[in-house]
């Protein structure tokens, strides 16, 4: 009996694995033409100035509307796109599309775009960024490229060289999901990042958990010491915002203010999230 049960459990897992493999295959097959079939969309989530209130920046976030599976979250399709290499074309589309959109926003409002580590290592990235800027007319200082610590792993000199070339275009470079990766803090000395984004897993524990407070205090202190501005992502409550303000965090992003929205809803957000109209907290 025990043996039979064991086999049953095994078959169950086998079936689940088959389903996962099949879904991944379907996603991979679907991604191939997703760009050409116009199934990709961008959402924009505002970043808010913690002291003065008001929107300082929008982060562009990719969405995939699959014809049968519906909206597939980036956490699921980005890894598949990275494995297959499609991320390069998709990322360039996101960059070009978001820059065109942002060129019509009132200055000095900024645009943030995520770069995949795969995209980062492909030759042609710097040229693609330069093209997106010149085609759209967006001023380089209004574009912020978000990279994660995993971009920095290995090939240190080559990575630093790419970062410097991007910086030479005049764009800003932000370190995303800070604290979740494995990169050495030495990078912060070797490359002058413009911004650190505290990962939402740390923000989540605010304002009560001592460990979360200690980490946020450490990151904001480090940012101050190095002259790097610090942003928090995943801000959902007034209590979290208050704790971040106390620690000297300069920008906040999260559902407390707005989820990512289609470009058409941006004007309404401007009205709702005006500078120092009462901050949500
Ligand atoms: P990320 O760059 O760290 O983006 C922030 C994520 O947190 C977004 O998830 C956003 O919707 C979510 N978020 C924002 N505020 C809150 C909040 O208050 N609570 C919670 N629980 N979540 C919040 P999203 O849009 O699902 O994107 C997930 C990740 O996928 C992004 O994380 C980024 O790493 C990647 N991604 C998205 N778009 C692109 C893209 O165009 N290119 C590349 N390479 N990666 C992208
Ligand atoms: Mg990001
Ligand atoms: Mg992030
Ligand atoms: Mg994140």
Model confidence pLDDT, tens digit, residues 47-69: 999 999 999 999 999 999 999 88
CA distance 220 to 138: 30
> Exposed, middle or buried, 128 (CB in 10 Å: 0-12/13-18/19+)?
middle
The tokens of 166 are what?
Answer: 């991007």
Please state, in angstroms and rounded to a whole number, the distance separating the CA atoms of residues 273 and 96: 26
Confidence at 280, pLDDT banded by 50, 70, 90: very low
Question: Which residue carries 């995949």 as its tokens?
Answer: 116
User: Which residues, at least 6 apart from 167, have a Cβ–Cβ distance to it below 8 Å?
Assistant: 173, 192
**Residue 1 Cα to ligand 3 middle (Å):** 49
Nearest CA to ligand 1 atom 13: 234
% of the chain surpassing 70 pLDDT: 95
Separation of first and last alpha carbons in the chain? 60
Residues with CB under 5 A from ligand 4 (ion): 177
Whether residue 175 has its Cβ less than 6 Å from ligand 1: no
Say which ligand is closest to the CA of 88.
Answer: 1
Cβ count within 10 A of residue 55: 24
64, 39 in Cβ contact below 8 A?
Answer: yes
Closest to 41 (Cα-Cα) out of 60, 58, 64, 59:
64
Q: Separation of 177 CA from ligand 3 center, angstroms?
A: 4
Q: Report how far ligand 1's centroid is from the alpha carbon of 256 (Å).
A: 15
Average pLDDT of the chain is 92
Note whether ipTM > 0.90 here.
Answer: yes
What is the C-alpha to C-alpha distance for residues 86 and 111, in angstroms, rounded to an integer? 23
> What pLDDT, in 10s, does the model give residues 65-95?
999 889 999 999 999 999 999 999 999 999 9
Read off the pLDDT of residues 15-30 as tens digits, 9 standing for 90 and up. Answer: 777 888 888 898 999 9
At residue 237, the pLDDT reads 98
Global pTM reads: 0.93
Residues near 79 by beta carbon (within 8 Å), at least 6 away in sequence? none
**How much of the chain exceeds pLDDT 90, in percent?**
75
Task: Return d(Cα 17, Cα 280) in angstroms, integer.
Answer: 45
* Atom 25 of ligand 1, nearest CA residue: 61
> What are the CB-based long-range contacts (under 8 Å, 24+) for 123-128?
125/162, 125/166, 126/162, 126/165, 126/166, 126/169, 128/92, 128/95, 128/96
pLDDT at 70: 92
Q: Say if residue 9's pLDDT is above 80.
A: no
């Amino acid at each position: 009996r025990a043996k039979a049960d064991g086999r049953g459990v095994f078959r169950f897992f086998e079936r689940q694995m088959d389903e996962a493999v099949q879904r991944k295959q379907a996603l991979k097959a679907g991604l191939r033409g997703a760009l050409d079939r116009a199934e990709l969309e961008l959402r924009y989530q505002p970043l808010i100035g913690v002291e003065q209130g008001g929107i300082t920046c929008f982060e562009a976030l990719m969405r995939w509307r699959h014809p049968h599976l519906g909206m597939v979250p980036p956490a699921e399709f980005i890894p598949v796109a990275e494995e297959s290499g499609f991320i390069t074309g998709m990322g360039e589309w996101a960059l070009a599309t978001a820059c065109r959109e942002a060129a019509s926003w009132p200055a000095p409002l900024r645009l943030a775009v995520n770069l995949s580590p795969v995209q980062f290592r492909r030759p042609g990235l710097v040229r693609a960024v330069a093209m997106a800027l010149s085609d759209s007319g967006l001023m380089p200082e209004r574009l912020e490229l978000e990279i994660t610590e995993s971009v920095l792993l290995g090939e240190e000199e080559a990575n630093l060289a790419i970062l410097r070339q991007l910086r030479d275009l005049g764009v800003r470079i932000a370190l995303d999901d800070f604290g979740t990766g494995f990169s050495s803090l030495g990078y912060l000395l070797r490359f002058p990042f413009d911004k650190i984004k505290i990962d939402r897993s740390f923000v989540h524990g605010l304002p009560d958990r001592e460990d979360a407070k200690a980490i946020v205090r450490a990151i904001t202190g480090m940012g101050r010491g190095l002259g790097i501005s610090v942003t928090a992502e995943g801000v959902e409550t007034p209590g979290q915002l208050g704790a971040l303000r106390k620690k000297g965090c300069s920008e906040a992003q999260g559902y407390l203010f707005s989820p990512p929205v289609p470009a058409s809803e941006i004007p309404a957000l401007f009205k709702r999230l005006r500078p120092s109209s009462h901050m949500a907290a």
